Amino acid sequence: MSTDSTIPPTAPTNFIHEIIDGHNASGRFGGKVHTRFPPEPNGYLHIGHAKSICLNFGIAKKYGGKCNLRFDDTNPTKEDIEYVNSIQEDVRWLGFEWDGLYYASDYFEQLYQWAELLIEKGKAYVDSSTLDEIREQRGTVTQAGVENQYRSRSVEENLDLFRRMRAGEFPDGAHVLRAKIDMGHANMLLRDPVIYRIRHAHHHRTGDAWCLYPMYDFAHGYSDSIEGITHSICTLEFEIHRPLYDWLIDAVEIYHPQQIEFARLNLTYTVMSKRKLLELVEAKIVDGWDDPRMPTIAGIRRRGYTPAAMRDFCETIGVTRFNGLTDLVVLENAVRNDLNKSAPRVMGVLKPLKIVLTNYPEGQVEEFDCVNNPEDPSAGSRKVPFSRELYIERDDFMEDPPKQFFRLAPGREVRLRWAYVIKCEEAVKDPATGEIVELRCTYDPETKGGNTPDGRKIKSTIHWVSAPHALSTEVRLYSPLFSVEDLASIPESEDWKTYLSPTSLVVIPDAKLEPSVKTQSVGYRCQFERLGYFCLDRDSTGEKLVFNRTVTLKDEWAKIQKKGG
């Protein structure tokens, strides 16, 4: 069940809801709805998992049913308790709470008993071939596999061998247990799939109790059956596995859940494979699983995304059987929507350009009342100090501006947000480089608070920070990790990592922020006015704050520039 109450009961429906409605109408499961989210604890959850989590827990909520969290931990060599913990944290962060918390490893004994039952029924056998032999005998997509001599072992011999496998008498790879189905089947997964292998490995939960571990295909369907799952929802690539789960369940004559497949999420400029994400982490291309550029739940959380935005995104993209490619801007739009309403505004200058108000008294300091969130009157206001020397954004000044630029330029007026209207009198240049190092401006005392009593229109309002009061902070600007839109379009022969974008992280070591943010704590989200939404990173220290840019604001001017250029 979800702990969240923001999903409206009239939420748009999808084809899975329709199937469930059908089951409820026919009484197939007696009106019961029980789903589960079944990750393998071999990596951190990503946005694609979020889609599955919202789907499964959302269904439980919609139908007044239940949803389990089950770890499919059948491969001890790849799994770790760190992942078990992170997965639970991520599911909760998304706003969901599971009804049952289970592990496939809870079922190892039962699973083993069913394997023996399969042997007794003549439906499984111990194969002593090598890995390569098994592979070779399996055939190809267009060519039937061949049966080997082990396939006809007696029930007694199979049982004896299998029990000795469990007892630890054989080294890894000496034997496997295979389901006896059909070596000529058109669906290659039914060509006597391996269901148990010997692994003398320590399991994060069962320790050294086992040296024999079930394959995922063997454990998964049975686990769903044990838990009384009604709708086993999974991604499209498991569709072809369904006949195998059906065969396995029918072979031991137990309760039969209904598997339903949907298309996994693909995002532009994003890799969504745990294997590849692991590679990025291990190669230290990113700063761990929660690097804000990672599409992991931990990464986007650190980046500043909100659970509500994630849920909204999952709602927006829908659930179908079509394998598409969702534009990253849809995700970005979801956070902007949420943060626009909730994030307090603050002023910060990323690329500072110093200005001096020549007619403003030296040493004078005023405090201006600044609205915290124009979208939310209840957010109130705060005091921000103002003085003779200020920083403005370098991009807000142009010496020789094009027609469409209406910010500051020599001889031009601009409003400093919540403060005064100022006029640029002179641009001071470094004589050596020609670079503009400072602006000499005058302010209009009549415009205190940013108002124009004479009614004149000021075309542009820009943000600023008082130089002597400025808080020097580090700001990390993120853009997509990859430079190609569709990662799937990279041919197998090429290394996908060559498409990593060199500018996915740009660090600004010395941005200038208004002093009010000084006392905020890690995870604090705000809007730097006119720039974007930012989130206080855990790398912050008492001396230096670090902000992550969650997402930029929409930028009409950038669009104009792009068109012009």
| String marking each residue 390-409 x if it binds RNA according to CB under 7 A | --------------xxxx--
**Span of 27-35, 73-81, 108-116, 435-443 interacting with RNA by CB under 7 A:** 73-81
CB of 175 to RNA, least distance (A): 7
In angstroms, the CA 185 to CA 240 distance is 12
In this structure, which long-range contacts are made by residues 14-20, counting pairs with CB atoms below 8 Å and at least 24 apart in sequence? 14/318, 14/319, 14/320, 15/262, 15/319, 15/320, 15/321, 16/55, 16/59, 16/231, 16/233, 16/260, 16/262, 16/319, 17/59, 17/62, 19/231, 19/258, 19/260, 20/59, 20/63, 20/231
| Residue from the set 23, 197, 301, 311 that interacts with RNA by CB under 7 A | 197
For residue 255, state whether it binds RNA (rule: CB under 7 A): no
Count Cα atoms within 13 angstroms, Cβ side, for 416. 34
Q: Which of 3, 109, 120, 135 binds RNA (CB under 7 A)?
A: 135
* 311 catalytic residue (yes or no): no
- Tell me the closest approach of the beta carbon of residue 382 to RNA, in angstroms: 14
d(CA 390, CA 353): 8
CB 466 within 8 A of CB 367: no
State the residue for tokens 């000044």. 397
Nearer CB in complex with RNA: 96/170: 170
State which residue, 217 or 291, has the beta carbon closest to RNA. 217
The CA-based diameter of the chain, rounded to the nearest angstrom, is 101
Q: Hey, which residues between 362 and 391 contact RNA (CB under 7 A)?
A: 373-375
Binding piece for RNA, criterion CB under 7 A, among 13-21, 58-66, 249-257, 499-507: 13-21
Give the nearer residue to RNA in terms of CB position, either 80 or 539: 80
- How is 15-28 classified by DSSP, letter by letter? HHHHHHHHHHHHTT
Judged by CB under 7 A, does residue 498 bind RNA? no
Q: Does 12 bind RNA (CB under 7 A)?
A: yes
Among 87, 118, 198, 280, binds RNA (CB under 7 A): 198
Name which of 147, 145, 155, 165 is nearest 214 in CA terms: 165
189 binds RNA (CB under 7 A): yes
- Map residues 506-545 to x or -, x wherever contact with RNA holds by CB under 7 A: ---------------------x-xx---------------
Site for RNA in 199-218 (CB under 7 A): 213, 215-217
Which residues on adjacent β-strands are paired with residue 414?
Answer: 422
Question: Of these residues, 178, 191, 274, 476, which one is catalytic?
Answer: 274
Q: How far apart are CA 361 and CA 145, in angstroms?
A: 90
Indicate if 166 belongs to the active site. no
- The residue from 78, 264, 382, 394 that is catalytic is 264
Choosing from 36, 40, 61, 393, which is the catalytic residue? 40
Q: Is 247 in the site for RNA (CB under 7 A)?
A: no
Beta pairing partners, 281 = none
Closest CA to 69 of 48, 84, 47, 51: 84
Does 52 interact with RNA (rule: CB under 7 A)? no
323 to 352, contacts with RNA by CB under 7 A? 323-327, 329-330, 333, 336-337, 340, 345
Confirm whether 293 is a catalytic residue: no
Q: Which is nearer to RNA, 10 or 541 (CB)?
A: 10
- How far apart are the C-alpha atoms of 273 and 265, rounded to whole Å? 11
What are the catalytic residues? 40, 264, 274
